[in-house]
Amino acid sequence: MVLEAEELSVELERAALRQVRVNYTEYNYSLFKNSLRTPSFCWLDSTTELGVWRRTHREIGLARVLLTMHGWGVLVEVLKHEMAHQYVDEVLGAGAEGPHGPLFRRVCDERGIDARSLGLPHAERKDTPEGRVLERVAKLLALAESPNAHEAQAAMSAAQRLMLKYNIEALLASDAHHYHFRHLGKPSGRVEESQRILSTILSEHFFVEAIWVPVYRPAEKKRGSVLEICGTPHNLELAEYVHAFLTQTAEQLWREHKKLNGIQRNAHRRAFVTGVMTGFSKKLESERGKNQEAGLVWQGDAELRGFFRRRHPHIRWARPAARYDRDSYHAGREAGGKIVLRRGVSQGASGGPKLLTGR
């Protein structure tokens, strides 16, 4: 949750700073093998400088706007960036090379830390080959808005094949790939099964790696989780669009199901929405089979997996068992199997810019 500036009480700031220290300890272990000595921490009033490592004071400063404008997911990326500066200074003893020299960039690359953007999302330019592919995908998804079910399905399938073909060709090319990350949706205390299935959809069908990462929710002074995806900029753009589209569509389908069946309460919403995500996932698996028969086989991106593992060297897998109302689940699964991915989401689930709006 992003706070309004006036909500930043002294108590909330102190609690958030205590959590910064907790995150520092966690990343010192996972990324720097406990080689760093804990510094002091403070908030900065700057609106242009998001973070700073002051070697003379042994202090890491983080901008308050990270709480009021960007959220905790971005804040921890800035923290890791400043920890990399501390590592270069105090462990490698190479502070004289300059703030963002070759050694600093190497340290960041080895740990999946953004050495340049300080944790801010990377926006794909539209005048690049990748941007033009997204524009073509957008036009195909616009065709998927056709009232003719067969035409709509054909357009969605064509968009998927286009992205599959492009990613296979890009992987075979010898050019270096640039990977970034993005956080989707709002942090929550509990990750629902439907959200877990949605993250699997993104990682299995839309050329990104997905993981639920812990974040801090300053307003509640509680920890939570947010979905992180890693990939090339154009794949992140498409995956964020799909996340927003399916999230909104699943809720819309539940409202229609309630109205059609005279349901007053939301007791079985989770079962229905889980079914929706499962149904759409099965539909994508069927489409993947057709593409494989046509010779388009995605083997995965080893470089992306390496980037992902550098960012998250210690991954724990957890899949809690859940019990649902069977009728609601199967009704949702049937509805999900009929979803046609189309253009129409004006804003991503993470509150970012408009996605896939080429005309």
pLDDT in tens, 185-225: 888 888 999 999 999 999 999 999 999 999 998 888 889 99
Question: Do residue 308 and residue 226 come from a single domain?
Answer: yes
Structural domain span for residue 13: 5-111
Cβ distance 229 to 182 under 8 Å?
yes
Q: What is the pLDDT at residue 104? A: 92
Q: What is the pLDDT at residue 345? A: 44
Give me the sign of the Cα torsion angle 75, 31, 88, 112: negative
Residues (pLDDT < 70) of the chain are: 1-8, 95-96, 117-131, 143-144, 146, 174-176, 318-322, 343-359
Helix, strand, coil % in the chain, rounded to nearest 5: 55, 10, 35
Angle between helices 72-86 and 102-111 (to 10 degrees): 130
Question: Do residue 138 and residue 255 come from a single domain?
Answer: yes
Is residue 344 domain-resident? Answer: no
Q: What is the pLDDT at residue 91? A: 94
Question: Do residue 329 and residue 260 come from a single domain?
Answer: yes
Q: What is the pLDDT at residue 32? A: 96
Question: Do residue 185 and residue 305 come from a single domain?
Answer: yes
Question: Do residue 62 and residue 156 come from a single domain?
Answer: no
Domain total in the chain: 2
Is residue 359 domain-resident? Answer: no
